[in-house]
Structure 1
Amino acid sequence: MRTHFADSLDDLAAGLADMCALTVTAIADATTALLDADLPTAERVLDANTDLDKAAADWEHQAFSLLALQAPVAHDLRFTVGGLHIAASLQRMGGLATHVAKIARLRHPTPAVPPETQPVIVDIGKTAVTRATETQVVLRHLDHERAQELVAADTAMDELHRRLFTVTQAPQWPHGVQAAVDVTLLGRFYERFCDHTVDIGRRIIFLETGQLPARPETLL
C-alpha cells in the first residue's frame, strides 16, 4: 500500500512538471507570435491552453482522490495540498500566455510591438522562458535549493518591466495611446507570469521546510 502511495506522489510530481512544460511552450510561442505578427502561432497558443486546463483538472482529481483514500500526513500532505496551489499557478501562467497571444491576434497583421519596444520585449520573453524552464526543473526534481534560487531571481523581470515603462512614457513616444496601452499590458502579463514561478518556488520550499517564505507581492 505504501509503495502504491509513493508511486502516486511521484506521478503527481511528474504531472506538475509536465504542466509546466506546457507553459514554457506557451510563453515561447506567444512571444514569437507577438514579435513576428504570426497569427497561426497565436492561434496555436490559444488552442493549447485547453490541454493545460484539462491536465490541471486531471491533476486535481488525482490529488483529491489521494487525500480521500490515503489520508497523507506531514510531508506528503504538504506536497498534495501545495500541489493544488502549484497547479492553479500553472493554469494562470497558461492563461497569461494566452493574453499575450490574444494581443498578437488582435493587432494582426500589424505587429503589436512597436520597434522602440521590441528589444525589451525580446529580453522579457527570453526571461519568461528561462524562468518557466527552471521552474519545470524544480518541479521535476522537487529541488529545494533551486527553488530558493527561483524565488531570489525575481528582480530580473522587474527591471525589464521598468525599462519597458520608461520607453512607453517617453515624451517622444510616437505610436499613440493604444500602442502604449498594449505594451503596458504585455509587460504586466509577462511580469505576472514570472511572479507565479516565484510562488511555485515558495511552495517547493514549504514542502521541504514546512514554512512558507514571505510572498514578494500579491499574485493574480
Structure 2
Amino acid sequence: MSEVLRIGGLSAGYGPLTVLHSVNLTVAAGERVGLVGLNGHGKSTLLRAIAGLTGWQSGSIRLAGREVGSTRSQGPGRYTHRIVRAGLALMPQGDAIFHGLTVADHLDSGAYTRAAWRDRRRRRERVLAIFPALEKLLDVPVGRLSGGERRMTSLGRGLMADARLLLIDEPSLGLAPRISQELVAALSAIELGDSAMIIAEQNIPLLQGRVTRMLGIHAGRIKGGAEAVQLAGVNLH
C-alpha cells in the first residue's frame, strides 16, 4: 500500500517554545488514524506543522512522495497554499466559518484548485451524501445554523478539496455527545481509496472501532500500540 504521509525528525513550535520533538510518523493510503492526547500536548500543532502553519519547524514531511516540510522559519502559512495544492485538506478545530455566507458558499470555497472548482457540483453532491442534513440548508447563512450544522459545513468544505490527506482537528469540540457520534460515524464511513485521514481527538471512545489505529501524543512525542492510550493521559470511561 502506498504512503500518503511520511514524517521524519519533525520538531516544531512557536517563538522560543518547542511543542513537537523529533516526531516520526508514516500513514499509508486507506488508513484512518486516530491521534489522541490531552490539550496542550501537540495534537493541533502536529496538524498545523504538516500544513506549514507553525511559527517554526524543522524535519522532513513528505506528502504523496513530495517534500513539503524541511526547515520553515519564514513565518506561518507562507507555503500553505502549495501544500494544499499538493493534496492536503486541514479542517481546524471549531467552526472556522464566515457567518454571513451561506452553506453553499462555504462548500464551494473548499474547491480550491482549478480541477476541484470545475467539478464542484459533483463534489457538493458527495458532501451532501455524507452530511444529508445540509441539503435543505444550502441557501441559509451559516450564522443561523446550530453547532452541529456549522461543524458539518466546516468539515464538508474540507471534503470538497483534491486531498490525499485529510487532517481533522477535534471534530467533537463543543458538541453534544449524540451529534459528535454522528459526525465521527459519517467521517469513518467515507471511502478513502488512495487517500488517508488523521483525526485528532481527546475523546478516545468516540474513535474506538472507527479508525485503523490509534496513536497517542504526550509532551510532543508520539507513541503507538498499547502505550498510546496510557501516554495520551485520556480517560477511557
TM-score (norm 2): 0.27
Higher strand fraction (1 or 2)? 2
Structure number, greater radius of gyration: 1
TM-score by length of 1: 0.28
